[in-house]
Amino acid sequence: MLDIPPAVINYILNYLIEARSLAYLLVKKDGSLLAWGGKLAEYGITNLRQGGGVGEQVFFLEGLLPLDDIPLFLPLIKTEYGICTDVHMFPSSEGDWVLLLDSTWDENQLLPIQQSINDFSLLQEKLTRIQNH
């Protein structure tokens, strides 16, 4: 394992908690919610019930759990509340962990690039139609 100084680890943890609005859920293999914490309210996730089905409480997780012992990363997922988040899921002996990290900044950086690509594709199609006529 890497020898990382405690000051660096503290900085990374504080950055994830504050700047990326770290939130987490722990879900049993039967799909019931075991524990949660962090900044869930920033993702519009409130009023969770321990023991209740996670898919019924956090709709964008419906059908994604349980994991088959393989971590899963879903970048730039738009929640039902319109918040863009990176979703990291990984299995453990306690159950499946779901980590949420705000990716609004990433989305804002990628959106103009994606729009330019879409505009270029439309222009290319238009030129191809003109050439074929």
Q: Which residues pair with 36 in a beta bridge?
A: 25
- HSE value, Cβ hemisphere, 13 Å, CA-based, for 94: 10
Residue with tokens 């222009």: 123
- The predicted structure's pLDDT at residue 113: 66
10-46 exposure pattern, b = at least 16 Cβ within 10 A, e = fewer: eeeeeeeeeebbbbbbbbbeebebbebebbbeebebe
Domain boundaries of the chain, sorted by first residue = 6-102, 105-133
- Report d(CA 16, CA 124) in Å as an integer: 41
- The predicted structure's pLDDT at residue 1: 60
For the stretch 47-90, pLDDT in tens is 999 999 999 999 889 999 999 999 999 998 888 778 889 999 99
- Average pLDDT across the chain, whole number: 88
Q: Which residues pair with 98 in a beta bridge?
A: 25, 89
CATH no. for 6-102: 3.30.450.20
- The predicted structure's pLDDT at residue 27: 98
Phi and psi at residue 106, to the nearest 5°: -60, -45
pTM of the model: 0.75
- The predicted structure's pLDDT at residue 105: 63
